[in-house]
């Protein structure tokens, strides 16, 4: 038991000074601010990454068209009459002598044959249906002969196949066979001539008018340009192209006949038709085949109104002025580069300044001649965000007239890379 002398008195426990408890508040505030700052920074950094990158843009850098380099060919046009020269599928080499309709003599028979073959088609080597010479048609022969017309002998009851009749029409240029074919097809010469004019209008031969199926009538008129239009269409008919390329043929009654077109077989000439009268002079519509880079190209032309005292002189003159035209066209046509391998075709811009170019993988070439205008077509699909260097992407083609070159691939010059995460964040600071 403790006595009074040893009793220990325990006083109240002192409380923590008020100042220390309040000191905790600023630290919590600073901590909260730091947390908010870090969170905001994170949101600021992440926000750009959430936005999708824009697709790379492509800007074409080659022109829409260009010209084949070099000196344009000088065409030796005849000094008299009309002429026109065209390259099938490529374009025109030009014309001379104006566009006034003039008599065309037996060149008319190209339309006669064209109408017959479109109404009664036959293939190469086929003879087709038969037609019989009437008594009236045979009886007209002596009068036709007395007028000095170009004819084949016929007799009443003679039977010609369609092919033989066309050979008589196109090789020895028989006026009487033009009339026989016209009546066989349409029932009368007048009805057939109406078909000829309807066909000319449909083909766009706006300066052509036919009055007979043979061209003996000087009222049948046309132009060199219109006859080139028709010749291009006629040469697409296999039987026509086959017949006009023949030098001879064997016919009923007449026996062996020869082609008046003595140019056939020379300088690539494969037809088409001569014509000559006092009113028309010497006329020739011609076609020649030129080989270019393993491809056959057809040159079609017409020469009208060459002077001369008679048919042999007129035809000799028209042949003489035609040869240089054929040779000039053959020498002018070639394969020409219009865009070189490695040339820039398009510029590609990626996001945040990334750049590459699309260049031609090899030469872009066309068939044509110097000075000719060429269209350039570029096709580039959507460019991905990453495009390796030397990657093929897109194509370029060239078109000269109707001939389109094979497409040439485009290749990227350097790698196109999407921007890094850091670049995207830094760009938006």
**Known binding-site positions for substrate:** 273
Q: Which residues contact 191 (CB under 8 A, 6 or more apart)?
A: none
Distance CA 374, CA 367 (A): 10
DSSP 309: S
- Kindly name the residue from 86, 96, 150, 173 that is annotated as catalytic: 173
Task: Tell which residue, 144, 134, 211, 143, has the closest CA to residue 176.
Answer: 144
Distance CA 81, CA 102 (A): 9
Does the annotation count 173 as an active-site position?
A: yes
Structure tokens at 311: 């048919």
Structure tokens at 294: 């393993």
- β-bridge partners, 248: 258
Tracing tokens 């056959």 back to the chain, one arrives at 296
Residue 226 C-alpha from the chain's centroid = 20
HSE-CB at 348 with a 13 A cutoff on CA atoms is 30
- Kindly name the residue from 86, 109, 150, 214 that is annotated as catalytic: 109
- Kindly name the residue from 86, 96, 106, 222 that is annotated as catalytic: 106
Q: At what angle do helices 109-119 and 175-186 cross, to 10 degrees?
A: 30
Distance CA 82, CA 104 (A): 11
Check if the beta carbon of residue 167 is closer than 8 Å to that of residue 251.
yes
Task: Classify 217 as helix, strand or coil.
Answer: coil
Task: Tell which residue, 272, 289, 167, has the closest CA to residue 228.
Answer: 272
Check if the beta carbon of residue 115 is closer than 8 Å to that of residue 195.
yes
Q: Which residues are annotated as a binding site?
A: 273
Q: At what angle do helices 175-186 and 162-170 cross, to 10 degrees?
A: 140
- β-bridge partners, 18: none
239 sits in which H/E element: helix 238-244
Check if the beta carbon of residue 273 is closer than 8 Å to that of residue 332.
no
DSSP 350: -
Task: Tell which residue, 321, 323, 287, has the closest CA to residue 305.
Answer: 321
Give the Å distances, CA to CA, from 427 to 43, 47, 52. 15, 12, 14
- Catalytic residue numbers? 106, 109, 173
């Amino acid at each position: 038991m403790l006595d009074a002398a040893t009793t220990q008195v325990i006083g109240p426990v002192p409380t923590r000074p008020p100042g220390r408890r309040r000191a905790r508040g600023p630290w919590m505030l600073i901590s909260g601010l730091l947390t908010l700052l870090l969170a905001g920074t994170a949101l600021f950094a992440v926000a750009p990454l959430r936005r999708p990158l824009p697709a790379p843009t492509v800007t074409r850098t080659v022109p829409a068209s260009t010209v084949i380099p070099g000196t344009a060919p000088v065409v030796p046009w005849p000094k008299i009459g009309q002429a026109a020269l065209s390259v099938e599928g490529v374009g025109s080499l030009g014309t001379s002598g104006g566009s006034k309709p003039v008599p065309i003599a037996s060149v008319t028979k190209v339309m006669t044959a064209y109408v017959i073959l479109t109404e009664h088609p036959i293939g190469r080597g086929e003879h087709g249906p038969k037609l019989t010479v009437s008594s009236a048609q045979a009886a007209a022969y002596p009068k036709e002969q007395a007028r000095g017309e170009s004819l084949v002998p016929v007799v009443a009851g003679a039977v010609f196949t369609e092919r033989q009749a066309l050979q008589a029409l196109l090789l020895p240029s028989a006026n009487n066979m033009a009339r026989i074919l016209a009546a066989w097809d349409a029932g009368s010469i007048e009805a057939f001539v109406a078909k000829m004019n309807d066909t000319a209008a449909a083909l766009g031969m706006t300066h052509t008018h036919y009055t007979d199926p043979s061209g003996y009538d000087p009222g049948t008129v046309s132009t060199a340009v219109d006859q080139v239009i028709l010749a291009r269409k006629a040469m697409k008919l296999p039987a026509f192209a086959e017949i006009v390329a023949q030098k001879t043929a064997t016919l009923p009654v007449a026996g062996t006949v020869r082609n008046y077109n003595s140019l056939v077989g020379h300088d690539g000439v494969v037809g088409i038709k001569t014509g000559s009268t006092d009113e028309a002079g010497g006329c020739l519509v011609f076609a020649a085949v030129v080989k270019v880079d393993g491809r056959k190209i057809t040159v079609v032309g017409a020469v009208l109104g060459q002077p001369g005292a008679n048919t042999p002189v007129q035809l000799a003159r028209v042949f003489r002025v035609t040869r240089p035209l054929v040779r000039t066209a053959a020498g002018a046509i070639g394969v020409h580069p219009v865009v070189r391998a490695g040339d820039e075709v398009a510029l590609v811009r990626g996001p945040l300044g990334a750049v590459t170019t699309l260049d031609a993988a090899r030469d872009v070439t066309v068939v044509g001649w110097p000075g000719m205008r060429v269209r350039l077509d570029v096709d580039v699909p959507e460019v991905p965000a990453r495009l390796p260097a030397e990657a093929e992407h897109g194509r370029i083609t060239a078109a000269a007239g109707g001939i389109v070159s094979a497409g040439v691939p485009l290749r990227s010059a350097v790698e196109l890379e999407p921007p890094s995460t850091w670049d995207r964040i830094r760009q938006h600071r």
